Amino acid sequence: GQQLNQSPQSMFIQEGEDVSMNCTSSSIFNTWLWYKQDPGEGPVLLIALYKAGELTSNGRLTAQFGTTRKDSFLNISASIPSDVGIYFCAGQLVYNQGGKLIFGQGTELSVKP
């Protein structure tokens, strides 16, 4: 089935460092979303992107919708220990199939104090 290619799979960084992760697809999506999952919990929506080229921020998080509509990027600036978790990208066809979400494999982030 469809799945997005998300990289890197894991990151080990020092507190205060910036983080970048990306997601690519062979299919075009009209919406890209980024989620964070804490251990043993369900994912929580961080940022939603609605049009190609869009750049959106949520605090220290910034995400971009690629101009080809087949990729997206998430940056976290000045990381802190509570940023630890798994970050998922998801592509969505908002007007098709009930807005089905297709997920990447996740990026597991570890932050060393």
Partner 1 sequence: DGGITQSPKYLFRKEGQNVTLSCEQNLNHDAMYWYRQDPGQGLRLIYYSQIVNDFQKGDIAEGYSVSREKKESFPLTVTSAQKNPTAFYLCASIRSRSTESFFGQGNRLTVV
Locate the DSSP E strands across the chain.
Answer: 5-7, 10-14, 19-24, 31-37, 44-49, 55-58, 61-65, 71-76, 85-92, 101-103, 107-112
Q: For partner 1, give the closer residue by CB, 5 or 78.
A: 5
- State yes or no: residue 104 binds partner 1 (CB under 8 A): yes
Q: Are strands 5-7 and 55-58 parallel, antiparallel or unpaired?
A: unpaired
- State yes or no: residue 9 binds partner 1 (CB under 8 A): yes
- State yes or no: residue 95 binds partner 1 (CB under 8 A): yes
The footprint of partner 1 (CB under 8 A) covers 1-3, 6, 9, 31, 33, 40-45, 48, 50, 88, 92, 94-95, 97-106
